[in-house]
Structure 1
Amino acid sequence: MTKLSVNVNKIATLRNSRGGNVPNLLKVATDIEDFGAQGITIHPRPDQRHIRYQDAYDLKEIVRTEYNIEGNPIPEFMDLVLAIKPTQVTLVPDSVETLTSNAGWDTITHQTYLSEMIQEFKLNGIRTSVFIDTDLSLIEAAAKTGADRIELYTEAFATEFGKGNKKAVVPYTKAAILAHELGLGINAGHDLSLDNIAFFKESIPYLAEVSIGHALISESLYLGLENVVNMYLHRLK
């Protein structure tokens, strides 16, 4: 079964919009695990507009499943991850002003840089994943960085699938097959939803984990958080 890691950034956004501690991020993360999710993901940004760096430390104390921290490995992020030692770090090349992740790494241009960062994380016992597009040359270069996994950036698939174009999944299938042949684990995330997750799961061999936040929390407004978590788990079997 592909593991479901729930990104709780949107819970932090809602909390921050009013100040105080409602909704309680730690309680929601605990509940999500109780509902069956196999991981919690956060993506702190330098301006701390949703997840705060203190949240990252606080979640370390209560997450019982896998803990995944995403972000651009700037010095502050490096220090945070090395101090917390989550299960997994996912390296994402987003700039400070980026609203949400919108591109994968150019693992050819940044191979040396990524290799240095990844070596540091792995020396500290942290599984590493690289956020990436489906270009096969970039997958090959990702394997040379020493990363344990890649995370396929799935916005293009989700957009095209919403238009009825199921063939949009083909590059992801090919990327997953190559990654597996190169010894990389396969994660995926961005704009995956209840509408497209079952088809994506069926089409992607060796899919270890999906990280889903925005869609899952939005769907929960109508269907309830516990129901939605279990609906994803059912589709991922």
Structure 2
Amino acid sequence: MTKLSVNINKIATLRNSRGGVMPNVVKAATDVQLFGADGVTVHPRPDERHIRYQDVRDISPIIKTEFNIEGYPNREFIDLVKSVNAHQVTLVPDPPEALTSNAGWDTIANKSLLQDIIAEFKEAGVRTSIFIDTDLKNIENAVETGTDRIELYTEPYATDYPNNKEAAVAPFVEAANLAHKLGLGINAGHDLSLENLKFFSENIPFLDEVSIGHALICDALYIGLEETVKAYKAQLVK
């Protein structure tokens, strides 16, 4: 079954809005695992507007499942990931001022950069994934970077799903089939929700993992974190 990694960035956003430690991100990481999540995802940014670098260090010791750290690979980020022995690093191309991730890597223009960074992570024993769209040329060239997996950027799917879900998912099916043929693992994330996750999961072959944060935390405000994690897990049962 496809694994669910819960992104807890929005927990930190709420905490940071008032200062202090409420809600507590370490407790959130502990709880989502207890409630059935297969992993915890964080995305520290240089301005620390949600997850802080110290949060990553604090969370690491309590991970019993899998720790996935997303981010732009500047030197501080690379050193952080290596220092906490993350299970997976997901490299995203967004600049520091980006509100949220909104595009995948151009693996042709950034081939050399990605090769060097991925080689460093592999030497440290960290599985690598790169955030990518459904452009088949970018997926073909992802292999040359040495990455273990790709993470399909699913905002276009989520946007088009209400209008024509079959058309929305089609390029992702094609991309997943190509990635698998090339020997790449397949993750996915961005704007997946209780509305669109089940259809995505049922149609995308070889899907290893989804990372979900914003929609999941929003749902948890209404039905509670435990029931929300269970609900998202249920969408992944085929």
**Superposition TM-score, scaled by structure 1 size:** 0.99
Indicate the SS of the match to 1:114: helix
Q: Which whole-Å CA distance do the structure 2 matches of 1:168 and 1:162 have between them?
A: 9
Question: 1:63 maps to which residue?
Answer: 63
CA contact (8 A) 1:10 1:214 kept: yes
Q: Return the letter of the residue paired with 1:122.
A: K
Write the letter of the residue equivalent to 2:151: E
Question: 1:183 is matched with which residue?
Answer: 183
Kindly state the Cα deviation for residue 20 of structure 1 after the two structures are TM-superposed: 0.6
Establish whether residue 138 from structure 1 lines up as the match of residue 138 from structure 2: yes
Alpha-carbon offset, residue 164 of structure 1: 3.8
Equivalent residue, structure 1, for 2:48: 48
Cα deviation, residue 165, structure 1: 3.8
Judge which range, 227-236 or 158-167, deviates more: 158-167
Report the equivalent of 1:149: 149
Segments of 4+ moved more than 6 angstroms? none
CA deviation map 1:89-115 (0-9, x unaligned): 000001011000000000011011101
Q: Paired residues, what number?
A: 237
Instruction: State the distance in 1 between where 2:113 and 2:26 align.
Output: 34
Aligned to 1:196: 196
AA in 1 matched with 2:74:
I
**Pair 1:221 & 2:221 matched:** yes
SS class of match (1:162): coil
Give SS of 2:103's match: coil
Q: Assess if the C-alpha contact under 8 Å between 1:160 and 1:166 holds in 2.
A: no
CA distance in 1, matches of 2:148, 2:170: 23
Q: Deviations over 1:119-149 (max 9, x none)?
A: 0000000000000000111000001111000
Distance (whole Å) between structure 2 residues aligned to residue 165 and residue 43 of structure 1: 29
- Report how far residue 166 of structure 1 moved: 2.7
Which residue is equivalent to 1:29? 29
Query: Is residue 152–residue 188 contact of structure 1 (8 Å, CA) maintained in 2?
Result: yes
Counterpart Cα distance in 2 of 1:143 and 1:204: 20
In 1, the alpha carbon distance for the partners of 2:127 and 2:215 equals: 26
User: Is the 1:130–1:151 Cα contact (8 Å) retained in structure 2?
Assistant: yes
- Secondary structure at the residue paired with 1:50? coil
In structure 1, distance between residues paired with 2:164 and 2:133: 21
Give the aligned CA root-mean-square deviation in angstroms.
0.7
Which residue is 2:207 aligned to?
A: 207
Residue pair 1:187, 1:210 contacting (<8 A) in 2 also? yes
Take 1:231 and 1:159, find their aligned partners in 2: how far apart are those partners?
21
Q: By how many angstroms is 1:223 displaced?
A: 1.3
Q: Which residue of 1 aligns with 2:109?
A: 109
Q: Does 1:8 align with 2:26?
A: no
Alignment of 1:86-97 (within 5 A): 86-97=86-97
CA distance in 2 between partners of 1:85 and 1:112 (Å): 24
Read off the aligned partner of 2:195 and give its amino acid letter: D
2:235 aligns to what?
A: 235
Q: Distance in 1 between matches of 2:67 and 2:78?
A: 16
Distance (whole Å) between structure 2 residues aligned to residue 107 and residue 33 of structure 1: 33
In structure 1, runs of 5+ residues without a counterpart are none
Give 1:235 shift. Answer: 1.0
